[in-house]
Amino acid sequence: MPPKHHNPGHPITLQLAQERVVAFSISALSTYALLPELNCAFDMGDCLLDAVPIERVFVTHAHGDHTRCLFRHDSLRRLMGMEPATYYVPAATVEGFRGLAEAWRRLESVRPRQHEPPRLEGLEPGAVVWLHRQLAAKAFAVQHTVPSLGYTLYDVRKKLKPEYHGRPGRELARLRREGVAFEEEVWVPRLTFIGDSTIETLYREPHVGESRVLFLEVTFLMDGEQELARQRGHTHLDDLLRLVTEQPHVLHNEHIVLKHFSMRYDRGTIKHLLRKRLPEDFMARVQILL
Ligand SMILES: [Zn+2]
Ligand SMILES: [Zn+2]
């Protein structure tokens, strides 16, 4: 019998600030995170029926445990009469995914005009995707063994420029008619999702520490696995411990979700090691995705 926490069909539902996230993540097995209220998902290692109505899927990298059900998502939507979703992938992988989709179409004898291929969009670091007028996703570079992106969702709001504070509404209405730009945009980081990654990403992208919610991998936990973590482009518990003790100001997220543990550990070991080694005040903000 496989351990209970090795079942991608049984996701964990987390309530993190205003976010409801339905997620699963075990290394080499499967990773996905669904945000049904925001109509988006990160990775598609498996495709639950709950995932099917979601219209935007942000893919961190091409490893199979994160992408194996991308085209299953696409075909289930068609079967249920829904419009195609959009799949955002690292730009360097878009041709590979197109080839994969084409191979499936050939295997399933889909006639060329029967339906269009999946909507794939390649993104470079810095690219912005608008989910609606006040919510944007921004991609950033992630260090792993293959081209990888992380994504931060931002609430984008308009705010009065400081020099216009306290002006009466009548005057602002007049300024608006005259075309004066008295407002500025404020981007508030709401949720950051990092797929597989070394700790380097956190040093290079300090903005991830500002997000209200942060999803972070810690694949390897045991002593003697530090080199393995480096070779496979993953984070070791020692790396995370070093960051949070030497630079405690970096991660000041309200909620941190630790995920993507190696299949070699049982549930008790994961919980025990994280609680034993990471500082108590840090663990107070952590949810373990198990
Ligand atoms: Zn993975
Ligand atoms: Zn990977």
No. of H helices and E strands in the chain?
A: 9, 14
Say how far apart CA 186 and CA 106 lie, in whole Å: 47
Ligand 1 mean position to 234 CA, how many Å? 9
Asked if residue 113 has pLDDT above 90, the reply is no
Q: What is the pLDDT of residue 1?
A: 84
Q: Identify whether the C-beta of residue 239 lies closer than 8 Å to the C-beta of residue 247.
A: no
User: What amino acid is encoded at 207 in this protein?
Assistant: H
pLDDT tens-place string over residues 232-261: 999 999 999 999 999 988 999 999 999 999
Run of H or E including 138: strand 135-142
Ligand 1 mean position to 28 CA, how many Å? 5
Radius of gyration, CA atoms only, the chain = 21
- Angle formed at CA 68 by CA 65 and CA 70, multiple of 5 degrees: 125
Ligand 1 mean position to 174 CA, how many Å? 55
Indicate if the alpha-carbon torsion angle 80, 85, 89, 95 is positive or negative: positive
Predicted TM-score (pTM) of this structure: 0.95
Mean pLDDT of 125-141: 97
Q: Give the strand order in the sheet containing 286-288.
A: 128-132, 135-142, 148-160, 183-193, 213-217, 255-259, 286-288
User: Which of the ligands is closest to the CA of residue 217?
Assistant: 1
Q: Identify whether the C-beta of residue 288 lies closer than 8 Å to the C-beta of residue 271.
A: yes
pLDDT tens-place string over residues 182-211: 999 999 999 999 999 999 999 999 899 999
Ligand 2 mean position to 101 CA, how many Å? 20
Say how far apart CA 36 and CA 52 lie, in whole Å: 10
Rounded to 10 degrees, the C-alpha dihedral 87/257/250/190 comes to 50
- Residue 69, C-beta contacts closer than 8 angstroms, at least 6 positions apart: 32, 44, 45, 46, 47
User: Which of the ligands is closest to the CA of residue 63?
Assistant: 2
Mean pLDDT of 18-42: 97
Ligand 1 mean position to 136 CA, how many Å? 25
If pLDDT is split at 50, 70 and 90, which confidence band does 264 have?
very high
Ligand 2 mean position to 150 CA, how many Å? 12
Ion ligand 1 residue ranges (Cβ < 5 Å) = 65, 196
Ligand 1 mean position to 31 CA, how many Å? 7
- Angle formed at CA 63 by CA 6 and CA 132, multiple of 5 degrees: 95
Run of H or E including 172: helix 169-177
User: Which of the ligands is closest to the CA of residue 29?
Assistant: 1
For the ranges 45-49, 109-113, 141-145, which has the lowest average pLDDT? 109-113
Q: What is the pLDDT of residue 287?
A: 98
